[in-house]
Amino acid sequence: MSALIGKHILLGITGGIATYKTAFLIRLFIKAGAQVKCIMTPEAEEFVTPLTLSTLSKNPVVSSFTDTEKNWNNHVKLAEWADFMLIAPATANTLSKMIIGKSDNLLMTTYLSANCPVYIAPAMDLEMYQHDTTKTNLSQLTNSGHIIIEPESGELASGLEGKVRMAEPENIVEFISQHLLKQMPLFNKKVLITAGPTYEPIDPVRFIGNHSSGKMGYEMAKTALNLGAKVILISGPTHLTLTHPNLELIKISTAQEMFDNAMTFYDNVDIAIASAAVSDYKPKTFHNQKVKTTEDTFRIDLVKNPDILKTFGQQKKHQFLVGFALETNDEVENAKQKLEKKNLDFIVLNSLQDKGAGFKNDTNKISIITKDDIKRFDVKPKSEVAKDIFNEILNTRFNNKADA
């Protein structure tokens, strides 16, 4: 249900025996990470109480143009709040009102104000569903861009059997999730992201590392997931956590471990983003026992770690490759050299000279550098920086724009 995380769902509920299913539907939407607001028709209240639905949705349920104190229930704001609207169950009566634009209740008035996608889950008796008028209405609603969630077979309240029962709540949620997922710009794409520091052990208690928190890499992983991608996040030591159905999180400590895992996935990904602060060197010798500090000086011989980003560039075929450069001087020139030397599509530059940029901060200030252009951005939360980076990727590779 990843596509529903953070979505605002406006659930329109009409009066029919299937109305009782909306309680289960709301619970599934909430469990999937969505927010739900309900509008009921007065007839729907005869089948399930507003108290039940407001308790489950954690939002007030409205059914009339004014509340008990005669304050106006603003249908325009309700419509603007929604990422999409679902009318379930949608009776034959409501379908006909939707066609002619009859706004005789709050649900219909809100529906006519909505500019968001509308899903419809019909439910009615067999003859009503098979009537030419109903078929025409459903066809016209489909032609208007609405998405019909087909009813399912089973016994009806009348005792008849047929394919007119409102789809089961779990099937509605799955249908909408899959439909939304397929609209996302990175649907069916694989994204590999490296994040955080690496720790190169000297002995069992000491290591060579850096101050990277992994925040930038984790925010990019969240953004990629929200755009519909399957994400492989290879993370060095960090206190951050992230879970998602489309996320494979691999935790490592050393540069060699990061290299080995990254190369396992690299051939099969569409986008690779190397944001980890990988140690360039590691101790030549690992001491199995804690080194005693008996001398005034202590020498550590270092050897080069594998260059993950350079290897990515050398083996690049179809992948869109993004690197990061954290610089302290000659920033742009150093970043351009790295861009060319490592065969990158673009490089994200941040400078320790800029306030709000670099390690540990919740903000960052970046420039995106390609062979032909430099785009500079203001200081922003790293979540917004991640969107800027993916907008650049989508505009360059997929001729699209992120909306995560």
Count CB-CB contacts under 10 A for residue 126: 15
Only one residue has tokens 């706004």, namely: 103
| φ, ψ of residue 290 in degrees (nearest 5) | -55, 130
Q: Running DSSP on this structure, what letter comes out for residue 81? A: H
The residue among 215, 322, 343 whose CA lies nearest residue 273 is: 322
Residue pair 176/32 in contact by the 8 Å Cβ criterion = no
d(CA 90, CA 78): 19
Point out which residues pair with 194 in neighbouring strands: 234, 274
Residue 211: what pLDDT?
Answer: 87
Count CB-CB contacts under 10 A for residue 195: 28
What are the catalytic residues?
A: 210
Burial class (CB in 10 A: 0-12, 13-18, 19+), 43: middle
- pLDDT by residue for the chain (404 residues), tens only, comes to 468 988 999 999 999 899 999 999 999 999 999 999 999 999 999 999 999 999 999 999 998 887 777 777 788 899 999 999 999 999 999 999 999 999 899 999 999 999 999 999 999 888 888 899 999 999 999 999 999 999 987 766 656 665 678 999 999 999 999 999 898 999 999 999 999 999 999 999 999 998 899 999 999 999 999 999 999 999 999 999 999 889 999 999 999 999 999 999 999 999 999 999 999 999 999 989 888 877 788 889 999 999 999 999 999 999 999 999 887 788 889 999 999 999 999 999 987 666 656 666 788 899 999 999 999 999 999 999 999 999 999 998 876 555 55
Residue pair 249/209 in contact by the 8 Å Cβ criterion = no
Structure tokens at 267: 């051939």
d(CA 63, CA 60): 10
- Stated as kind and residue range, the H or E segment containing 337 is helix 331-341
Q: Mind giving me the DSSP string for 89-132?
A: EE-HHHHHHHHHT---SHHHHHHHH--S-EEEEE---HHHHHSH
The residue among 292, 321, 210 whose CA lies nearest residue 255 is: 210
The residue among 389, 47, 356, 352 whose CA lies nearest residue 210 is: 352
Give the domains, in start order, of the chain with CATH numbers. Answer: 2-183 (3.40.50.1950), 190-398 (3.40.50.10300)
Strands 302-304 and 200-201: unpaired
Query: What pTM did the predictor assign?
Result: 0.81
Classified as helix, coil or strand, 344 is coil
The residue among 116, 94, 91 whose CA lies nearest residue 103 is: 94
Structure tokens at 369: 């550098």
Structure tokens at 380: 């922003």
Residue pair 48/21 in contact by the 8 Å Cβ criterion = no
